[in-house]
Structure 1
């Protein structure tokens, strides 16, 4: 069985996010099937953007389509999206000849690629699977504050409705999306839940750079507890709440590892507040993240208080945290919460820095044994439920439907 995975933002451990397409494709290839990936050559999520044409990464065949470069989430990103879709249309016959697909998967976060997935599938008599990462256009409406009458949002809504009504099967990374999808045209018999995952086949942990190591060792020498965050610095990551909680805990060190369009503003905010217990570090490659997490006593992530999250969450950083065997503090208002399911730490309702600071204190007041038990709970949960070898088998089962 040949599978063509269309994912605008697909990356690899070498190139940066998104990682899921690479790991799913690699595992599918190990089963005797073949997965091909079509992605854009430029994405705000990747650390390497010098890509072009056909490529092979660890046995996974890629085609990088030439697209408009951009920064941020404005009109440049929209132009990048449409340049990708245009190249996909223009090279449809070439892509079919290259991949000979039995299954075409539309998986680009935004739903507009559904039109091209069906166009390609009809030309080669293939079936279409719609893989949903986030609910677009609901996500840009609630996180970005766009009106449902905004022309781009209306276009996205038409594409979501088309994808839900016409797909042969649907894969959702979020567990509670079925009612929303039925409302927009999905036959509930087509719904399949396959969350994000982790790679266990090659768990190489690389050392931090000298600069990162010196910083973490210096913080450790203060004999203060360290709360660590590893991930994007964007509006959706709600890091202002984390900084507000840090103001209430001057004797706890907070370290934020990563990059994003909000990072400069956040650094300025910390400086303006005169905080001495918040440190920002540059991003590192995926294989180095675990080395950073090992220095931390608590790992954390925070979310906005949005109705969107009632559909559930499945962020990769939660699974990285669980692999590190550290207790997790999360600020999230949702019916689906992996931290609580795993009994791996504390989840509080989001939006309240005092509650968040109290949650950190509760973890720090636990004995070493109790904190280690929370870490072990998270580790066992992620190993048993989120390995990509396990998830890829579920993926193949959906394709066979």
Structure 2
């Protein structure tokens, strides 16, 4: 099939979404499909730039900036983004290109107008991959009320859903949200698990034995540090673990909350915590080989279900998890059922600290723990199955 994949994250970005989309695009090509990735870029001085990455045709289209700016400018930039991309696509060598199918990735929720235009010109079906149900999660967390901003974002999201023939959500618990959408004829709703392909294994630039955490059993958090993650409770955990000098917490990544969290850790004099910048995704296996467990955090006010990309990287590399997540999240049942770590749904640091001790004991005594993590990844989260599922639906 000739497929266009539309997104706003892709290498050289190092976010979990960029890594996922890189892996997805490589697998489309590996399975014999002709894939073109359409991306916005605020860094271009010309309307478009065409390149080839690992057999994937990548067309970057000039568009407004949407990252590392305030929320108002980001909203304006994202609203204008699909229109800018469409205008500059028509100036590119691919202006007359026609596709057999369109696939797009949300976030962002603003790709609808671009997808709609390309869907009409190509007379093809479309598949929406939803990883965040926005603005619902922001409403749940109290980041916005039901006023004008919420109604605006909800209308944008509804338009995006209306363009899709198939929607893939990341967890069974999210199916309920789209029950009314599915009532329209010929619409298909399915669970599309998150995915990863095996990374290249290169030596990690982080050497824990050369840091203040040397000699400790290290629990690692690798990924975005934003409001949605609710990472403060992990610093509370670190404070409780100060009485256990053989345990440390390592945070690797970036995000809107990372600077504040660093200052908080310093003010608490947490010598068992270390913050480091994000690394190349291919360094992750060697980083995890230096750690004993992975940390997952989701803000307790979430009501939707989320299986973060970092969880997949832990499973892929055989790291059990210590998770602090919203009550009722499908991820909690998965961790318990597969016996791949410990999960706290109360958001109470006392419970989290107790479960952390239990996990450390489990790591020492459960010889099959690492293999269970790897088997779960191979069964549910391999990118080969993801591409086969998308193509079958289209």
Q: Do the structures match in fold with TM over 0.5?
A: yes
User: What is the correspondence of 1:131-280 to structure 2 with a 5 Å cutoff?
Assistant: 131-143=129-141, 145-151=143-149, 153-184=150-181, 187=184, 190-200=188-198, 203-209=199-205, 212-213=206-207, 215-219=208-212, 221=214, 223-250=215-242, 251=245, 252-280=247-275
Once residues 169 and 163 of structure 1 are traced to their aligned partners in structure 2, the CA distance between those partners, rounded to angstroms, is 12
Once residues 303 and 293 of structure 2 are traced to their aligned partners in structure 1, the CA distance between those partners, rounded to angstroms, is 26
Contact residue 88 and residue 116 of structure 1 kept, 8 A: yes
Once residues 87 and 136 of structure 1 are traced to their aligned partners in structure 2, the CA distance between those partners, rounded to angstroms, is 22
Once residues 73 and 133 of structure 1 are traced to their aligned partners in structure 2, the CA distance between those partners, rounded to angstroms, is 22
Partner of residue 319 from structure 1, selected from 312, 327, 352:
312
Once residues 292 and 50 of structure 1 are traced to their aligned partners in structure 2, the CA distance between those partners, rounded to angstroms, is 38
Q: Tell me the equivalent position of 1:11.
A: 10
What SS does structure 1 have at the residue aligned with 2:221?
A: strand
Once residues 206 and 369 of structure 1 are traced to their aligned partners in structure 2, the CA distance between those partners, rounded to angstroms, is 30
- Distance of aligned partners of 1:78 and 1:242 in 2 relative to their CA distance in 1, 3 Å threshold: same
Q: Tell me the equivalent position of 1:334.
A: 328
C-alpha displacement of 1:314: 2.2
Moved more, 95-104 or 175-184: 95-104
Once residues 273 and 391 of structure 2 are traced to their aligned partners in structure 1, the CA distance between those partners, rounded to angstroms, is 45
How many aligned positions are there? 383
Q: Tell me the equivalent position of 2:112.
A: 114
Once residues 364 and 300 of structure 1 are traced to their aligned partners in structure 2, the CA distance between those partners, rounded to angstroms, is 13
Q: Does 1:382 align with 2:380?
A: no
- Distance of aligned partners of 1:10 and 1:144 in 2 relative to their CA distance in 1, 3 Å threshold: farther
Residue deviations 1:260-282 (CA, integer Å, cap 9, x gap): 22222111111111221111112
Once residues 363 and 32 of structure 1 are traced to their aligned partners in structure 2, the CA distance between those partners, rounded to angstroms, is 43
Q: Does 1:294 align with 2:289?
A: yes
- Distance of aligned partners of 1:143 and 1:2 in 2 relative to their CA distance in 1, 3 Å threshold: farther
Residue deviations 1:139-162 (CA, integer Å, cap 9, x gap): 3323461122233x3222223323
> Which blocks of at least 5 consecutive residues in structure 1 are unaligned?
44-48
Q: Which 4+ residue blocks in structure 1 deviate beyond 6 angstroms?
A: none
Partner of residue 77 from structure 1, selected from 62, 74, 81:
74
State the TM-score, normalized to the length of structure 1.
Answer: 0.87
What SS does structure 2 have at the residue aligned with 1:19?
A: helix
Once residues 238 and 210 of structure 2 are traced to their aligned partners in structure 1, the CA distance between those partners, rounded to angstroms, is 20
C-alpha displacement of 1:234: 1.5
